[in-house]
Structure 1
Amino acid sequence: MLRVIIVEDEKPILDLMERLVGQHPMLEAVGTFTSAAEALTRFGELRPDAAFLDVEMPRMGGIELAEKLKAIDEELQIVFTTAYPQYAVDAFRVSAVDYLLKPVTPDAIERVAARLSKNHALRSAKSDAAAAEEPPVRCLGTFETRGASGALMGWPTRKTEELFAHLLAYPNRIMGKWQLADLLWPDLEEERAIHNVHNTVYRLKKAFKEAGIAVEVTNANDGYHVQLPASLSDLGIFREFMGRTAAVDQWNADEAERHFRLYLGTLFGGKDYVWSTGLATELSEQYGSLARMLASHYRETGNRAAMKETMRMYLSYEPLDEDMNARLLRLYAENEEEESFRRHYAHYTRLLDEELGIAPSAELRMLSERIL
């Protein structure tokens, strides 16, 4: 759960913001202020992960307050609220995560919460990577490749990048040139498509060489073969771990936690590769499996705080997972956390209605009636 402060000089709007933030299962309002100066004074004590700041306040406005807070904690995530969209340029000068127009709605809070959670998970993963070398290619939640110097690679064409994505998705296989032609240029006539394959493979080899990445593309059986070690990408590392893990126990719990945090969202950042849809679904299922194994391990060891955090993080990516929502709600009920149960049940109910047009299961409705 992310710790949030809210600074708004108009008390009715402050109360509304506190209620909207409090209704979201991933956010916890740890401080609310009508005075920017008071928020600044209390900041060190509260140590929030994010701050919702009104832009237009007397004496010290939200932009100035954000600059002072970021000087104390550069990792703080800032969200501005205002009735005047012309402040957007100033907001982004201090690297705001988002910019909300008043009146703020539950949907706007939902959008912001997803971004805040993803950024928080990304920073956690980067912190973990400080103890272990970060792979040069990231495929989970984004698609980025860094060369030997650490600089972000730019691809000569979109098809060159897509070809590399396909090789990462299906590594260490011989890819026939006709297969690649049909995959990448299904609408072109054969001769032109094959010509494009040859050019794109050449560009890929050249990009690897210029970036100092030791990946060799060789001709084989009227096609191409590329040997890609699992350590090259977060995708390879995650799949390798899941391929050899049937359960989480005391021996592999730390490693499982690191791999759980490696997963930062949709494969290739949701890039529109038609051929990747099935693999993206498979990875999402593996991520769910890992989340359940971790949650079960934390339950067995009595670490309910870690169990809750695991389920919440998973649900920030897969918010409609019925089984995981039920597990989290049952945990709240067992712990007699009535307010957390109420907020999450209301959030889940609204999502089901808006996205699928259905209500929670009979079991959860009965549980809600008993708890609430």
Structure 2
Amino acid sequence: MRAILIDDEKPALAQIEWLLERDGRLEVAAKFTSAREGMKYLESHKAEIVFLDIEMPGLNGLEAAEHIWRIDPEIRIVYITAYSEYAIEAFDLNALDYLLKPVHPERFKRTVTRIIEDLSRIRIKMEQPVPPQATTFKRLALHDGGMSDTSLKHLRALRTLKAQELFAYFIHYKDQWISKDQLLETLWPGGIYEKTTVLLHTSVYQIRKLLKEWNVNAAIEYALDSYRLASDSLIIDKELFERESAELTVQSEARREAVARALSLYAGDYLEEHDYDWAVSHRTELRQKYVRLASNLADYEAATGREKDALDRLTALHAQELYSDEICLRIMKLLAGMRDYEAAIAYYDKFEQLLREDLNADPDSTLARYAEHLAKDSVKDSANARRGR
């Protein structure tokens, strides 16, 4: 995303340019010492954000903003001012944010984060997301544009639990050939061959009927004594999750958006409401990836000035992974970084009590030592505060 800088003071221009280069999330497309030069540039060049000084000779920043929005109504403006009273007027003119001179690096970092979030929301809103047609997180279900989301166990087309399980198995191995023997051994183990073969054929018929009734562009194909669910257009939440989460690291805003999309798909553990033995190992793998992704995203949010978002994400994750020492330690370190030692210690005490009551166990020794260290820091911080008063 491109930014232009407008300030009649060259040292102020140089500082904003240096802060942007240091942050690395926005590109400086151009810089100007007059509002008219900047406006002329925008008439023939695209930029997403303008850092605009308010107090300039001739056409000041507040007046220039009106002209800039006529050129590009979607552009975002951040005012720069040495006088805080301008801030109220700036927000009356729908500025995204304002910065007081001299600009503090941490305050600037929060402003850039706000810019990225605002532009990302607009972009996501403009996109037309394609919802999954089949969901496997938490429960197996089909979703069709004109029909309400309904669990497959309530669909008349699949009259037996085994037919539902067979459909889940086909989805699990979508586009892969599965031998007839593998299907029989997995879904009807130990059964009489002739009888289980009839059950397989009946279940396949029910699935084909379901796909036709729901107008799903997919087919159960048969060749060389093997079956497969073939489809180029059937969208499955598990596939989307695995595609978006192929890379576990989060080091950019683009990755942050992709990971957030992936996490939003995870409505629950893979087929957790179905007692399918063959799904257990994959369920565990996906769960581990989900925890890792959420943790990495929280780390990125904390590092880019969104400590509250990171804290909310980690506490929600800890509610699912109740006995995780590692997540507890992450939360405590985040609270300590926010200098909220009391909250960090209180969180540890609550976690320690949970482990003792539920598991008759103590927290990890590393976690316990960190809690002791925080308690000492809290005492020092309180003492320094009293001396300051």
TM-score interval for Structure 1 and Structure 2 normalised by the shorter chain: 0.5 to 0.7
Gaps of 5+ in 2: 1-123, 376-389
Amino acid at match of 1:145: L
TM-score (norm 1): 0.60
Measured against aligned partners, the alpha-carbon deviations of 1:206-233 in whole angstroms (never above 9, x if no partner) come to 1111111111111022110212458622
Match for residue 124 of structure 1?
A: none
Aligned residue type for 2:209: K
Map of 1:333 onto structure 2: 336
Helix, strand or coil for the counterpart of 2:336? Answer: helix
1:221 equivalenced with 2:218 (yes/no)? no
1:263 Cα deviation (Å)?
1.1
- 2:291 and 2:361 map into 1 onto residues whose CA distance is 22
What is the match of residue 136 of structure 1? 133
**Partner of residue 179, structure 2:** 176
Structure 1 Cα separation of the partners of residues 181 and 336 of structure 2:
57
Aligned to 1:122: none
- Matched-pair identity in %: 23
Report the counterpart of residue 202 of structure 1 in structure 2: 205
Question: 2:170, 2:164 → 1: CA distance?
Answer: 10
d(CA) in 2 for partners of 1:230, 1:324: 38
What is the rounded CA distance, in whole Å, between the counterparts of 1:354 and 1:276 in structure 2? 32
8 Å CA contact retained: 1:248, 1:293: no
The Cα of 1:243 is off from its aligned counterpart by 2.3
Aligned CA-pair RMSD: 2.5
Q: Distance in 2 between matches of 1:266 and 1:129?
A: 30
User: Does the CA contact (< 8 Å) of 2:216 and 2:234 recur in 1?
Assistant: no
Deviation of 1:289 after TM superposition, in Å, equals: 1.7
Between 1:161-170 and 1:173-182, the stretch displaced more is 161-170
Q: Which residue of 2 aligns with 1:147?
A: 144
C-alpha distance in structure 2 between counterparts of 1:252 and 1:283, whole Å: 19
- Asked if structure 1 preserves the Cα contact closer than 8 Å seen for 2:217 and 2:231, the reply is no
Q: 1:220 to 1:245 in 2, by over 3 A?
A: farther
Higher Cα Rg, which structure: 2
The number of residues matched between the two structures is 246
Please show how residues 290-305 of structure 1 align to structure 2 within 5 Å.
Answer: 290-305=293-308
Tell me what 1:317 maps to.
Answer: 320
Give the Å deviation of 1:307: 1.4
Letter in 1 for 2:132: P
Distance 1:336 1:300, change over 3 A: closer
Contact 2:248 2:292 survives alignment (8 Å): no
Q: Does residue 364 in structure 1 map to residue 361 in structure 2?
A: no
Distance 1:300 1:158 in 2: 48
Contact 1:265 1:317 survives alignment (8 Å) = no
SS at the partner of 2:272? helix
SS at match of 1:272: coil
Task: Give ranges in structure 1 of 5+ residues lacking alignment.
Answer: 1-126
Q: TM-score by structure 2 length? A: 0.58
Deviation track 1:263-285 (CA, whole Å, cap 9, x = no partner) reads: 12221233211111101100001
Cα deviation, residue 246, structure 1: 4.4
Q: How many angstroms does 1:327 deviate by?
A: 0.8
2:96 alignment counterpart: none
- Output the amino acid matched with 1:295: A
SS in 2 for 1:192: helix
What CA distance in whole angstroms lies between the structure 2 residues aligned with 1:149 and 1:133?
14
Q: How does 1:49-60 map to 2 (within 5 A)?
A: none
Deviates more, 1:341-350 or 1:210-219: 341-350
In the alignment, what sits opposite 1:102? Answer: none
Instruction: Please identify, of 331-340 and 303-312, the stretch whose mean Cα deviation from structure 2 is larger.
Output: 331-340
Distance 2:311 2:249 in 1: 21
| Gap change, CA 1:319 and 1:343, over 3 Å in 2 | same
Pick closer, same or farther for the CA change 1:246–1:173 going to 2, 3 Å.
Answer: farther
